[in-house]
Chains A and B, each alone.
Chain A
């Protein structure tokens, strides 16, 4: 397990050596603030909760998480360090897990730094802080799924740009899958069961449930299983690279 820790530490450090981490944090904090207070009708709603804040998160992650994950494997493959890493005594799983955890912890840090929003809402009213905590947890779980998708896509290619675009594409599909507009569009052409099944894969649906403060085990499982699924796919892709 010390190998996972070593990979994670190296990865985290590399975020902060390059400007990526700081850029991410600044953009994330500024955008989440702006979107919450202006686009999200935070004041006009007259409710002391963080709904408008959490609603924006899928869209923020859509742009920002691929920027974090795109270099994860693509850069290693391109610069040749993949060969170095994979000839050290660790399994592909440990390497993948280390990198994933680094990115996930980084998002946790970004979420923690949004505390002024939480302070504001507590200053203005008396929100249910349990609901807010659950909302944060949901947001973090969703971010983990985005990261796992990004990790898989980055393992697929040597090009960071391709990794970015593929990640954003898969994520947007998973966000939109359950939206009424999309469902209505497909109801005409595809069998009803299929469309409904696809809707259950929607990240937004599961996230919104949690963000409202309803911590349903099924929603949590959905995110944990998606993470595992995408990470497994990523490991298989990396393994395939060694064979092909």
Chain B
């Protein structure tokens, strides 16, 4: 379990993290989201015990990181931002060093070593020095280092940064498997990752907590939530008809591919009426989709307060 209470960190006048209180339970994968410089890494560094908070506390499985640092660190696997590692060491030497530092018993150490090497597919690079590895491989070495002692709590700062889509998939699967009985805090700026990994999202900007919800809840905040989009030929005339439906709030057409998105009024369900109308009008629809909501739009709205602009756009299109 990870708990932070009014966790704050100031650098001179700059407040990097501002009274952040979060609680992550076992089984949860919490995605810490925020624009660059929002304080994600600073918050994680305080939880991992690298930085001392200006005020507030962080606890790992009940151990105050400030007062019982060793107990907290033992229970924690941490991947720092950029996955730093000792470049002059080989992958094997580096992981052995970590195993030794973690004080694993020899019989456990061998098993865990083989397990993480296999899981992160590092067999072929064990004897290479880390300096010569690609960015993706280095990230995997960093992940191996973080999980080698099988910790109940994981804090991963951008775990899939720099990985190709296949590697991203593998790492997500790995996190998914580990998530069942563990507490995992990851930071990311990839919104697709939130869908793929997290069952809870915390959005911060300028060090402040702005939202704490499940991905589905966040999507529901999107103006795209419940919207219907379709591609059709001769859609020009249908727009006007759709606008007359009582449940419809706005209509937008993508200027590039001509795809039309119909936005519902709050609480209305519009898939059926739209479909019916299109059928009645005899409009050929090549494909129609009920939107779940767009996280990127919600993210922008929450972190910049830019929601008003988006609404203005809709009104423009409608008139």
Chain A contact residues, CB within 8 Å of chain B = 2-3, 5-7, 9-10, 13-14, 17-18, 79-81, 83-84, 86-91, 242-243
Kindly state whether residue B170 has any CB partner on chain A within 8 Å.
Answer: no
> Tally of A-B residue pairs with Cβ under 8 A?
70
Kindly state whether residue B31 has any CB partner on chain A within 8 Å.
Answer: no
A3-B87 in contact (CB<8A): no
Secondary structure at the A interface, as helix, strand, loop or mixed, is helix
Q: A3-B101, A13-B89 known; 11 other A-B pairs, CB under 8 Å? A: A6-B100, A6-B101, A10-B89, A14-B86, A79-B84, A79-B87, A81-B85, A84-B145, A87-B50, A88-B102, A91-B69
CA distance A80 to B78 in the complex (A): 13
A14-B89 in contact (CB<8A): yes
Chain B, Cβ-Cβ closest to A91: B70
Candidates A3, A9, A10, A83; contact of B80 at CB < 8 Å: A83
B85-A242 in contact (CB<8A): no
A89-B48 in contact (CB<8A): no
Per the 8 Å Cβ criterion, residues 210-232 of B in contact with A are none
A242-B51 in contact (CB<8A): yes
Shortest distance from the beta carbon of B242 to any chain A beta carbon, whole Å = 54
B84-A81 in contact (CB<8A): yes
CA distance A83 to B82 in the complex (A): 11
B52-A242 in contact (CB<8A): yes
Kindly state whether residue B49 has any CB partner on chain A within 8 Å.
Answer: yes
B101-A90 in contact (CB<8A): yes
Which residues on the A side are within 8 Å of B76 (C-beta)?
87
Chain B contact residues, CB within 8 Å of chain A = 45, 48-52, 69-70, 73-74, 76, 78, 80-82, 84-89, 93, 97-98, 100-103, 129, 145
A87-B89 in contact (CB<8A): no
B78-A87 in contact (CB<8A): yes
A243-B52 in contact (CB<8A): yes
B78-A14 in contact (CB<8A): no
B97-A89 in contact (CB<8A): no
B85-A18 in contact (CB<8A): no
CA distance A87 to B69 in the complex (A): 9
CA distance A81 to B87 in the complex (A): 10
Candidates A6, A84, A243; contact of B84 at CB < 8 Å: A84
B50-A83 in contact (CB<8A): yes
CA distance A202 to B194 in the complex (A): 62
A2-B103 in contact (CB<8A): yes
Shortest distance from the beta carbon of B218 to any chain A beta carbon, whole Å = 30
CA distance A80 to B130 in the complex (A): 14
Which residues on the B side are within 8 Å of A17 (C-beta)?
88-89, 129
B50-A6 in contact (CB<8A): no
Which residues on the A side are within 8 Å of B74 (C-beta)?
89
Shortest distance from the beta carbon of B318 to any chain A beta carbon, whole Å = 51
